[in-house]
Amino acid sequence: DAKTTQPTSMDCAEGRAANLPCNHSTISGNEYVYWYRQIHSQGPQYIIHGLKNNETNEMASLIITEDRKSSTLILPHATLRDTAVYYCIVRVGSDYKLSFGAGTTVTVRA
Amino acid sequence: DAGVTQSPTHLIKTRGQQVTLRCSPKSGHDTVSWYQQALGQGPQFIFQYYEEEERQRGNFPDRFSGHQFPNYSSELNVNALLLGDSALYLCASSFPTGETQYFGPGTRLLVL
């Protein structure tokens, strides 16, 4: 599996967009980018995933660069409930496991 | 639509004992994965069950075993508990293609 690099932590203001970067420079052509988040003491929550096109759902947008070596998760209007650890995961479609790193601790401040 | 459920929510055991954790998958899912999350770390993959068989395993010793039942629910068994087995144990369910896994709330195990 390709490794990912994320900042350890970041703060953002409530109501503003939160842009979470992820570097995956060794990603292969058949590897997907997944984002999960984990609010304190709860199970991880699926956010979004993509292969090479940008994706959007009711929670967030995923922007993948053309060379696929990095991506950004965008939370359009952060709320206090978005405070969590965010994990960027690269996964081969045929692999059954998710390989979590340390993630980014995001703190949304009022 | 019920999500992934796990039981019990908390458990305290002593070293050397055995423990069984249970998981019911999200409605419509037939594949169950188990993860261990130590304090301050990301979840680590233990194994995945599909069609009542273990089809992929992570780097965990044989003390960790599992089972999947015909109704797709699953159990995780850990024998000869060590202090280092203290962790949050997470169950995730998915369709067989496994594109997206949905996690339960976890079982917090403390080994004394």
- The predicted-structure confidence for B30-45, as pLDDT tens digits, reads as follows 999 999 999 999 999 9
**Over residues B96-102, mean pLDDT:** 80
Number of H helices, E strands in chain B: 0, 11
Q: What pLDDT score does A30 carry?
A: 87
Q: Which two tokens stand for residue B44?
A: 């680590």
Mutate to test the interface with B, among A3, A96, A99 (most CBs of B within 10 A): A96
Q: Do B100 and A46 touch (CB under 8 A)?
A: yes
Residue B36 touches chain A, beta carbons under 8 Å: no
Q: Give the model confidence (pLDDT) of A61-107 as tens digits.
A: 999 999 999 999 999 999 999 999 999 999 887 788 999 999 999 99
Q: How far is CA A19 from the centre of its chain?
A: 9
Q: Do B4 and A45 touch (CB under 8 A)?
A: no
Q: Do B101 and A98 touch (CB under 8 A)?
A: yes
Classified as helix, coil or strand, B83 is helix
Residues of B in Cβ contact (< 8 Å) with A93: 99
Q: Do B105 and A44 touch (CB under 8 A)?
A: no
DSSP at A96:
-
Q: Which residue has the higher pLDDT, A96 or B111?
A: B111
Q: Give the model confidence (pLDDT) of B14-34 as tens digits.
A: 999 999 999 999 999 999 999
Q: Which two tokens stand for residue A94?
A: 């045929």
Q: Do A93 and B101 touch (CB under 8 A)?
A: no
> Tokens 């039942």 map to which residue?
B69
Residues A9 and A84 sit within 8 Å (Cβ to Cβ)? no
Q: Which of B79, B81, B80 minimizes the C-alpha distance to B112? A: B81
Cα separation, B36 vs A41, in Å, equals 13
Backbone phi, psi, residue B84, to 5°: -70, -10
Q: Give the model confidence (pLDDT) of A5-33 as tens digits.
A: 999 999 999 999 999 999 999 998 889 99
Q: Give the model confidence (pLDDT) of B48-84 as tens digits.
A: 999 999 999 999 999 999 999 999 999 999 999 999 9
Q: What is the dihedral of CA A71, B31, B5, A78, to 10 degrees?
A: 10
Residue B3 touches chain A, beta carbons under 8 Å: no
Cα separation, A17 vs B21, in Å, equals 39
Q: Do A97 and B45 touch (CB under 8 A)?
A: yes
Cα separation, B52 vs B67, in Å, equals 7
Please provide the DSSP assignment of A24-88 as one string. Answer: -TT--TTEEEEEEEE-TTS--EEEEEESSS-EE-SS-EEEE-TTSSEEEEEESS--GGG-EEEEE
Q: Do A46 and B44 touch (CB under 8 A)?
A: no
Q: Which of B105, B101, B66, B23 minimizes the C-alpha distance to A36? A: B101
Q: Do A96 and B42 touch (CB under 8 A)?
A: no
Mutate to test the interface with A, among B21, B44, B103 (most CBs of A within 10 A): B103
Mutate to test the interface with A, among B7, B23, B45 (most CBs of A within 10 A): B45
Out of A45, A96, A100, the one facing B48 most closely (by C-beta) is A96
